Structure 1
């Protein structure tokens, strides 16, 4: 049987098992084991090493620490204080509460590194408030989803950690590279909401005129969000300032989040148990997917399929631009049926040899990759953020409301991706500045 047919069957087996509902880790690893047993039995010797060597990479220490920090932040009360501040500061302008939701999600992303905390927490806080002031469901749900998805891009981003590990790229540089694109997208969301609600005030009416707040009340509300600034300085400032490694910064951040909950009287036994359980579940899921992906790719390389794919892609018309656009399309399509960690662990090792042969900056490509995954978070049928939002919204909110709310924000994400593609300095300027 020719290598081309074997490679096609290899991917057909993977996606067939995924569509049948097999967990991603088992679909990846199982496909590799089956094809190794049939085509290259000696490759089975590499499987035990995947189990024992994969989890011991030092970079992976940051993952449970950032996840633990993000889980604790959900219960700390910071989000309530931040939303109260934006309510008092910009609630009086059209769409102000939705713009504020995006802003809080942006800051939330800067201290959690993942999307669930901001999405779930802000959905529980901001959605009832926006409904109380007669906001359109589309604007309310869309702002929560788009803001929550920023957790994948704005540092400390856990997807960047996995990408950096697989691409052998600097985690600190990736964190710097994701900052400006994340702020750019958050700004796009705010401008869109503000302009649309200005011309269609019924979509996001301002809070009643009688609910005015004094300057003192506004200043006090801003003082209430000092923990946000402290955590950002501890985590990101220490990394970018060269004071700590990402792992050390993650440890400081997790400890600070723990002390913050204790200081605010929120550190109950149940909160501690729930945070540990969430961290263990997500970390375990990520490690199993990483092990499965390593098995899949080791067998893939042993069969010679990686060289076949690399040569086929490099022979495509369109040059570097055409190849990169094809990669972006593949990531976007995979995002509609697979979770983000699985996509990173599957595609990064497949694409990286091609990227290196083309001489493409791995940092810039990493930002394109993660922005594309962020788009996938909001695209049906398998957009993770859509599922999280639906899980915390009232039962009268249907899937049609959720899917219909994210269209404009997906368009803005695609525009942002295009700008980063055309102007790489949006992603590379800060990393180059701190070299």
Structure 2
């Protein structure tokens, strides 16, 4: 069988099964079985499939995934997140559009304490939408900041998807996690600039209102009591990796411990909060692991069939620059993001993209950050971007998909600008990993 026929059978088969409504995990598992029977010698190949699938879930590098999920869920359900927003509210006073600014500031901080884009968006929506609607904010000033800032959890450590990407692509997970910190902060600054421009063009989009102005002492106290202690969690997750004192798995465990300690000190660590956090974490983690189980051998089957080497040879046969090839990969991710979830996209593209990145001479950690940004874009691309539907669920009554997509458009442009900056100046992403590596 020619390589393009093998690729068509495997990749096309998965797309057809998902188009028919089969769950992603079972679509990958079904095509894997077909692939091992066709390319790896029947039942002997099925035995190998079972061995590889079980091994994929018992790897130590996946341990941070449930830990990061528990950390974010605890932060939300114990009320620590509300304390951060209350403190920021005191500091911003009567600044025009302050609720939009507060969304970006608080959401960025929550992204460093969560690891889940969907949890971040849902939390911001439930907290901010009622108040912003009551204050007369226009829909795009409500949904744009919430949707875009929610996606920051995909790139700012601790990013659950970064752990999965690093594990599946055989990258240094710790380096990939901290590589997203500076780009994430730059992206948050871009979002603030967008809000400022929108308010300057249309002051009625975020009406001002009288707010009690806190004194300097009250603001300092709010920051010291409700925000500064959260630095313990940030240090546990990011600082320990930067200093080389802990692996990503160990830092994730320390992050959970730090949230538990803070919740205990604030006397908000209740049994109800613990049960809700564990239940939410279990549901999301089980979904992720089911997809990994179904797709764990896909790259091996693709390689064994000759499709990977054929695709690489075909791609390298074009007389184009490496950056044009990078652009093509980004376009593929953006198009796939219109129809697929992020884990499925990673499983489908990493077996081809990672060898291709090595052939093109790009730094794999740098490409990992670029890919995370592309995956973040796909969360907000219609018709099936997951954050679009989350935002419709928590947005103002009567919100349509088109309104959410239009509100997200300026922030999507910010992500494209950041990708261009990272392409021109790779050191933006690689500075911290190089510093941590000595």
Query: What TM bracket, shorter-length normalisation?
Result: over 0.9
- The equivalent residue for 1:212 is 213
Q: Structure 1 residue 127 and structure 2 residue 129: aligned?
A: yes
Match of 2:411 in 1: 409
Deviation at 1:93, TM superposition (A): 2.1
73, 76, 79: which one pairs with 1:77? Answer: 79
Paired residue secondary structure (1:406)? helix
Q: Give the alignment's TM-score, normalised by structure 2.
A: 0.94
Alignment of 1:93-108 (within 5 A): 93-108=95-110
- Rounded to whole Å, the distance in 2 between the matches of 1:257 and 1:352 is 35
Q: Using the alignment, how far apart are the partners of 1:265 and 1:349 within structure 2? A: 47
Q: Which residue, out of 395, 398, 417, partners 1:396?
A: 398
Give distance in 1, aligned partners of 2:420 and 2:29.
34
Which residue, 157, 177, 191 being the options, matches 1:189? Answer: 191
Give 2:10's aligned residue.
10
* Counterpart residue number, 2:172: 170
RMSD, aligned CA: 1.7
In structure 1, distance between residues paired with 2:6 and 2:240? 48
Deviation at 1:314, TM superposition (A): 0.9
Q: Which residue of 1 aligns with 2:354?
A: 352
Partner of 1:234: 236
| Inter-partner Cα distance in structure 2 for 1:353 and 1:407 | 32
How far apart, CA to CA, are the structure 2 residues paired with 1:315 and 1:91?
59
Contact kept? 1:70, 1:111, Cα under 8 Å:
yes
Q: How does 1:291-370 map to 2 (within 5 A)?
A: 291-370=293-372
Alignment partners' CA distance in 2, 1:312 and 1:43: 27
SS at match of 2:390: helix
Q: Deviations over 1:76-98 (max 9, x none)?
A: 22221222222222242222210
Partners of 1:198 and 1:244 in 2: CA distance: 46
Structure 1 residue 170, shift from structure 2 partner? 1.6
The answer for the alignment partner of 1:161 in structure 2 is 163
Shift in Å, 1:391: 2.0
- Contact 1:75/1:261, CA 8 A, preserved across alignment: no
Classify the secondary structure of the residue corresponding to 2:383.
coil
1:401: how far off? 2.7
State the Cα deviation string for residues 20-51 of structure 1 (Å, max 9, x = none). 11111111121121233245425333211123
Count of residues in correspondence between the two structures? 434
Following superposition, the deviation at residue 167 of structure 1 comes to: 2.3
Cα distance in structure 2, aligned partners of 1:375 and 1:91: 32
User: 1:345 & 1:4 partners in 2: Cα distance?
Assistant: 18
Q: Is the 8 A contact 1:197 1:205 kept in 2?
A: no
What CA distance in whole angstroms lies between the structure 1 residues aligned with 2:354 and 2:392? 35
Residue in 2 aligned with 1:225? 227
Distance 2:255 2:178 in 1: 17
- Residue 23 of structure 2 is matched in structure 1 by 23
Alignment of 1:364-379 (within 5 A): 364-379=366-381
Q: Does residue 1:274 correspond to 2:286, yes or no?
A: no
User: In the TM superposition, what whole-angstrom CA distance separates every residue of 1:366-424 from its partner, at most 9, and x where no partner exists?
Assistant: 01000111111111111111122222234333333322211111111111112112221
Secondary structure in 2 matching 1:225: helix
Give secondary structure in 1 for the equivalent of 2:89: helix
- Displaced runs of 4 or more, over 6 A: none
CA contact (8 A) 2:179 2:429 kept: yes
SS at match of 2:67: helix
Distance 2:257 2:284 in 1: 19
